[in-house]
Amino acid sequence: MIRLEGVTRTYEVGGRPVHALAGVDLEVAGGEYVSIMGPSGSGKSTLLSILGCLDRPTGGTYRLRGADVGRLGEDELARVRRNDVGFVFQSFHLVPRLTALENVELPMVLAGLPRAERTRRAEAALGAVGLADRAPHRPEQLSGGERQRVCIARAVVLRPSILLADEPTGNLDSASGNEVIGLLESLNREGLTLLVVTHDEAIGRRARRRVRLLDGRVVGTAPEGAP
């Protein structure tokens, strides 16, 4: 499903190159549950952005379901983001003036689905994350855990094959954090490929595969069952 070969990402900061990713090789099969861990500045978020086609590698190749992402045009990248990838953000990124239901509808609005179908699917997605009764509420009227669940509903409403979560519990207390992780894992059990970026060891350890990054390189992967 995902295949990275020698992927680098270099930024210019003050005229000097900064290597956020310095040659990453990574392969993720469909339906896997992978955590990406590492200290701040190790390149976790950059890796996730590249995996989600929000960013393009400066070197190496990234193949997503066989397609070389580096060769795709802007519009094709947008289509990949829309159809193949779902994002869950640490800070939720809900549109404050829209209700929970409208936030979940947003990707379908952009995709141009008819209104009736949008509402039906958004309601179903909110129901699946246990928020059917919160549909008419705005984000500010929801708790942190509820907001993150709205965000998850929005990420999966167009049935992507990959779910990318960037510190999904970073802004949550441990109870709602566990709830959110539980929800993500149940989606993974239904076949969704799940990649979670975190620096929380306890959460990282729950993944069947752990990828450790340091200074833009993979310094270790722990397979399923390892300590």
Query: Which residues bind to other proteins, rule: CB under 8 A?
Result: 46, 49, 52, 54-55, 74-75, 78-79, 81-83, 87, 89, 93, 95-98, 106-107, 109-112, 154, 158
Who's near 133: CB < 8 A, 6+ residues apart?
none
Helix axes 174-189 and 144-156, enclosed angle (nearest 10): 20
CB of 172 to other proteins, least distance (A): 19
Residue 8 one-letter amino acid: T
Residue closer to other proteins by CB (options 108, 210) is: 108
Question: Are 166 and 135 spatial neighbours (Cβ–Cβ below 8 Å)?
Answer: no
CB of 151 to other proteins, least distance (A): 10
Residue closer to other proteins by CB (options 146, 166) is: 166
Residue closer to other proteins by CB (options 93, 189) is: 93
CB of 22 to other proteins, least distance (A): 18
CB of 23 to other proteins, least distance (A): 20
CB of 202 to other proteins, least distance (A): 26
Helix axes 144-156 and 100-111, enclosed angle (nearest 10): 20
CB of 54 to other proteins, least distance (A): 4
- What are the DSSP E strand ranges found in the chain? 2-13, 16-28, 33-37, 59-64, 67-68, 85-88, 162-166, 193-197, 209-214, 217-222
The continuous run of DSSP H or E covering 110 comes out as: helix 100-111
Residue closer to other proteins by CB (options 11, 29) is: 11
Residue closer to other proteins by CB (options 69, 210) is: 69
Residue closer to other proteins by CB (options 154, 210) is: 154
Burial of 155 per CB tally in 10 Å (0-12, 13-18, 19+): buried
CB of 155 to other proteins, least distance (A): 9
Reduce the DSSP state of residue 106 to 3 states and report it: helix
Residue closer to other proteins by CB (options 1, 89) is: 89
Burial of 219 per CB tally in 10 Å (0-12, 13-18, 19+): exposed
